[in-house]
Structure 1
Amino acid sequence: MALLTLAEAKAQLNITSTSNDTELQVYVDAVGPVIERFIGPVAERIVVETQDVARDGVQVLVLRTTPVVSLTSVEPLLASGGTSYDVGALVLDGDTGIVRRADGGWLRGPLKVTYTAGRGEVPATVNLAARMLVQHLWQTQNASRGPVLPGGGDYSVSEPVAGLGYAVPNRVLELLEPYRLLPGVA
């Protein structure tokens, strides 16, 4: 599952030739980490992390990479023993990454947690945001290759002071807003 394909980017830019495919693919590849910085992983990936839970235990674990699709395993970090937890007996809030025991009991650690983070599919709004971000970056870098919107708008490359541009236009941020990561706790 790709956040954005080369064909989708070319459609957004109204490009029909293949002469810029190699360069444009760099832009397509670059928008993924930018989008994921705001909304978390899109493509599903396996994450293994250590939860430094004290042996006294906690009632919830907070996974670091959200959204979470599924839990694979929750097992003791130390080979010398500890408790493994049946993931079927755990409750996962995929949006927040909060894991707790269904029976209300305590989780004791330290623990190694393996899970799948990402999204089952790319929401249409997120795909559109990626298309618009590629368009913005392509037009600011390659203004001579295509039309620039009247008045410059988000795509102006003739800024009064060099270097005061921005990589992610507000319209892209607004499209991503419903999928934004929750604020973290330091």
Structure 2
Amino acid sequence: MALLTLEQARAILTLGSDTQYDDELTVYITALTEVVEGLVGPIDPREVVEQADAYGPTLVLLQTPALSLTSLAPVLSGGSTVDVASLYLNGTSGAVGRLDGANWTGGPWTVTYQAGRSTVPASMTVAARLLLQHWWRTRYGAARGNPGGGEDFDVNEPVPGFGYAIPNRVLQLLEPYRRPPVVA
């Protein structure tokens, strides 16, 4: 699911019902959804199947937020599937623990779960709208008719790790939902 519809994008950019730019807008919508999900994790609920190792009492899922566990089975044959009702899921961190407090043994594990959000926070939607406006207004660089700059969408300082593609205001709106760093 995209963060914005084509109709919303046209309205945000004040294009009215003009469909002339629909192909380009569709690419922008797909790209901004990918960028936001790269920072905050999945938006639309989806099934994820991944292999995970567990050390001690915690198994950690890579895609957060996690909504629910579907199944958990050892990768190697001969082991038994774990009843997900006997597990605890911290959806925000992706930590999976055993309700009996025991350590995980017998892995690696194939974990199937639902990741995403049941509702999209308003600040994510606003961030998506601002990012669309920024990319749209800056797509032609200085040729856009304002070579002196001074627009509200100028990005004078590159954001570390993002260059000029993502304005600070977008990152600030997404900050409360940023995924924790993955440690290997």
Normalization by structure 2: what TM-score? Answer: 0.85
Do the aligned residues in 1 keep the contact of 2:53 with 2:59 (CA within 8 Å)? no
Q: Pick the aligned partner of 1:84 from 77, 81, 84.
A: 81
Do the aligned residues in 1 keep the contact of 2:155 with 2:167 (CA within 8 Å)? no
* Aligned sequence identity (%): 50
Provide the C-alpha distance between the structure 1 equivalents of 2:154 and 2:11, rounded to a whole number of angstroms.
Answer: 18
1:83 and 1:128, CA in 2 relative to 1: closer, same or farther beyond 3 A?
A: same
Name structure 2 gaps, 5 residues minimum. Answer: 158-162
Q: Counterpart of 1:184?
A: 182
Runs of 4+ in 1 over 2 A off after TM superposition: 142-148, 152-157
Q: How many residues in Structure 1 have an aligned counterpart in Structure 2? A: 176
Do the aligned residues in 1 keep the contact of 2:137 with 2:153 (CA within 8 Å)? no
Provide the C-alpha distance between the structure 2 equivalents of 1:170 and 1:74, rounded to a whole number of angstroms.
Answer: 39
Q: CA deviation at 1:145?
A: 7.2
1:156 and 1:100, CA in 2 relative to 1: closer, same or farther beyond 3 A?
A: closer
Name structure 1 gaps, 5 residues minimum. Answer: 160-164
Q: CA deviation at 1:106?
A: 2.1
Q: Counterpart of 1:63?
A: 61
| Structure 1 residues 87-102: aligned runs within 5 Å | 87-102=84-99
Q: Counterpart of 1:18?
A: 19
Q: Counterpart of 1:5?
A: 5
| Structure 1 residues 1-186: aligned runs within 5 Å | 1-16=1-16, 17-53=18-54, 58-79=56-77, 81-108=78-105, 109-142=107-140, 151-155=150-154, 166-186=164-184
Provide the C-alpha distance between the structure 2 equivalents of 1:77 and 1:136, rounded to a whole number of angstroms.
Answer: 45
